Each structure stands twice: as C-alpha cells, then as structure tokens.
Amino acid sequence: MYLRKSCLSRKISRSYRESQKSSKETRPGGGSVESSSTGSDLAAGGGAGSWAGMFPELLGEIIRRVETSEDRWPQRQNVVACACVCKKWRDITKEIVKSPPAPVGGKITFPSCLKQPGPRDSPHKCLIKRNKKTSTFYLYLALTPSFTDKGKFLLAARRYGRGAHTEYIISLDADDLSQGSNAYVGKLSSDFLRTNFTIYDSQPPHSGAKPSSGRASRRFASKQISPQVPAGNFEVGQVSYKFNLLKSRGPRRMVCSVKCPSSVETDEDKHLDDLKMNKPETSVSGYTILKNKSPRWHEHLQCWCLNFHGRVTVASVKNFQLVATVDQSQPGGKGDEETVLLQFGKVGDDTFTMDYRQPLSAFQAFAICLTSFGTKLACE
C-alpha cells in the first residue's frame, strides 16, 4: 500500500516537471523564457498575465488618453475598468486620475474623488432624492438634464435623533448607514435648535490632524477597534443659520466655514499656482468662508427671487446660493460674490438639485445641503 502511494507521488512529480519544461519557449540565443501562463508570471502580474508585462511608458500613455477622452459618466467607467485589470494598472490609473491639470480637475472616478475639489469652470450638476419614511437622502450625479433620471449614485445619508441633537450619517453604501461601516465617510451634527451644524470627516483632512474631542465627534462607543480605523471624527466645517427673532419676511441667512481640500497645501499641489490664485480668500486660516447670496424682491411676483438658471422650479425656504465672502483681515482682500460655488433648490416633492464647484468637494456640498432640511423655527 505504501509502495503504491510512493510510486504514484513520483509519477505526479515527474509529470509536473515535464509540463513545466514544455511551457518554456526556446530563444534563438539558446536561452529560455517562461510563457505567460506559468505560475511565477501570474504572481508577478497579480493574476493578469501578459497585461502586466507592458512597458510603464506605453501603459501610462494608454491610460492617460482614456482618462482624457472619457470625461463624463457613463463613459467614465472605462477608466475604472483600466484600474481593475491588475495592481500595476490600478496604481498607474490612480496616479493619473489623482493629479490632473488644473483646468480639467474635478472629475469623479473613484470614491476618493468625492472628497476632492469640484471643477473650476463649470459646476457638477447633481440631484438629491429624499425618502421621508426612512429619513434617508441619496445624492446622484446627473447624467441628463432631466430631473426624473437618477443618474450615478454617489452618497447616501440618514437622519438620526441623538437626544436633543440631530445627526446625519453619510455613507458610500445606501444599504449600510452606520459609523462602524467601511463605507462610512463622515457625518453632520446639529444643536438643539438646528441652527448650528458641524461637519465631520472620517479621515484626517491633512497629515498630522487630530480627531475632534467630545462625545459628538466620537465614531465608536469604545476607544478604538483597529489602528487602521480612527476612533474619532475630524471637524472640517461649520454651518450657522442666523436667528430671525423679529419674524421679518425673507429667506434664511446662513454662513459656512469649511476646510476645503484645495486650501490645504501639499507637495503635489505646489505646482498648481494657477489653481491657488483663483481660490476664494478666507478670513480664517485654512478655512473658506461662504455666505448665502442675497435675493431680490420681485414686485410683480411678490416674492424673493434668485436666478438659478432653470435648475430650481419650486419656491421653497430651503433654496439657497452660496458665494465667497470678502476677506476683511487681509489688505485688499476680495471675494467673488457673483460666482456661485454651491446652489441648492427644490424641483419636486422629494427631489432637489445640487450644483457645486471648486473649492468645495461633493462630500462637503452634500453635508451643507443636508442642513437645509428640517424645520428651523428660530430662523423663519
């Protein structure tokens, strides 16, 4: 019995060595090279075989051309497909997508792009769908001018009551809205009157950033479950609504202080001088200060009006436009109060539009728009 097993094992070993020899191709110079189907080549290429053996220069040029030509969804999915070939392709694709030229920045490709600044010249046009029964909000990137098409899903948020406070948990997964999820990206926390909100990010906005102190900023009930997962959240912005104690007629007045991605200097951003020169001035170091654009009173319609360029069709106290403020702390500081950096408005019972641009990211713009939901008796 043991002799039979020994002979069988020797036969299997001999057949394996013969198959390895047959998989080699003889070169004209007498050397030999293993074919792309051998195990060592597959391991080196991450299971992609000959695709991982392309020259980096040629591979980078191919992916760069695909990235440049496919600038909108759903064609943009071809760039994602390039990153799915193997690890080598993924690293090169991420590097090309991460540092595009300044004029064409703001493309949404990977989940990390949702925390990068939006485009500079024309805003990203998005839709927010509300589910009143579950207190859930869904953010989509609009692919057509129609308000009924959902488009590409980006983020989801759910409102929770935390005693006297209200929280919105923001996630990449519409079915998993919890702070312990891997899809968790941040949250929004309000005070008792829902007039002051704090935006928290699940990841540090820059190297060396420390999590915010306090119970509201804690991500888990315990101290920390893993060194790779921060136990706390990082404050990246605040939104405040001004009181309207006299109950005078007019829209809500709000001020936003946001730490935008483009306002944090990194080694990769030093060469983007043109981008930095076009940033809004700030009155707080590292923060961009925004305020709502003042509407005008229309005598014929007898209401306050703003020009939303056809992107808002229903009058609502929730509608707003945000512009950069003038920096009073700097001599000659200027703010562009004509360029709308974020606008939000109602187009249906549970459908809203959200258009944003630099220096805001999709995550920050979505969090700011969430503050507009809910009744604010002190502001109306």
Confidence grade of residue 333 (pLDDT, cut at 50, 70, 90): very low
Q: Which residues pair with 304 in a beta bridge?
A: 297
Instruction: Let me know: does 361 contact 369? Beta carbons within 8 Å.
Output: no
> Nearest Cα to 256, choosing from 183, 209, 321, 161?
321
**Region 106-134 average pLDDT:** 90
Percent of the chain with pLDDT over 90: 27
| Position with higher pLDDT, 313 vs 99 | 313
Long-range CB pairs of 183-189, under 8 A, 24+ apart, other chains included: 184/219, 185/111, 185/114, 185/115, 185/155, 185/363, 186/233, 186/236, 186/363, 186/367, 187/233, 188/157, 188/367, 188/370, 188/371, 189/162, 189/165, 189/216, 189/217
**Region 308-322 average pLDDT:** 89
Instruction: Let me know: does 264 contact 230? Beta carbons within 8 Å.
Output: no
Query: In this structure, what token pair is assigned to residue 129?
Result: 């769908």
Residue 320 has pLDDT above 50, yes or no: yes
**Region 302-306 average pLDDT:** 79
Cα–Cα distance between 346 and 309 in angstroms, integer?
Answer: 13
Distance of CA 66 to the CA centre of its chain: 21
User: Average pLDDT over the chain, rounded to whole?
Assistant: 75
Q: What is the DSSP string of 126-175?
A: EEEEEETTTTEEEEEE--SS-SS---EEEEEEEEEEETTEEEEEEES-TT
pTM of the model: 0.74
> Nearest Cα to 130, choosing from 364, 358, 354?
354
* pLDDT value at residue 93: 85
Instruction: Let me know: does 361 contact 115? Beta carbons within 8 Å.
Output: yes
Residue 169 has pLDDT above 80, yes or no: yes
DSSP, collapsed to helix, strand or coil, labels residue 339 as: coil
The torsion defined by the Cα of 79, 81, 83 and 84, in degrees rounded to 10, comes to: 170
Lowest mean pLDDT among 237-241, 245-249, 346-350: 245-249
Residue 23 has pLDDT above 50, yes or no: no
* pLDDT value at residue 71: 74
Q: Which of 58-62, 246-250, 329-333 has the highest mean pLDDT?
A: 58-62
**Region 172-196 average pLDDT:** 89
* pLDDT value at residue 180: 83
* pLDDT value at residue 298: 80
**Region 244-268 average pLDDT:** 66
Lowest mean pLDDT among 91-95, 97-101, 247-251, 274-278: 274-278
**Region 303-311 average pLDDT:** 85
Confidence grade of residue 29 (pLDDT, cut at 50, 70, 90): very low
**How would you label 156-181 residue by residue, b for 16+ Cβ within 10 Å and e otherwise?**
bbbbeeeeeebbbbbbbeeeebebee
* pLDDT value at residue 215: 59
Q: Within the chain, what is the greatest distance between any pair of CA atoms?
A: 104
Cis-peptide into 359, omega within 30 deg: yes
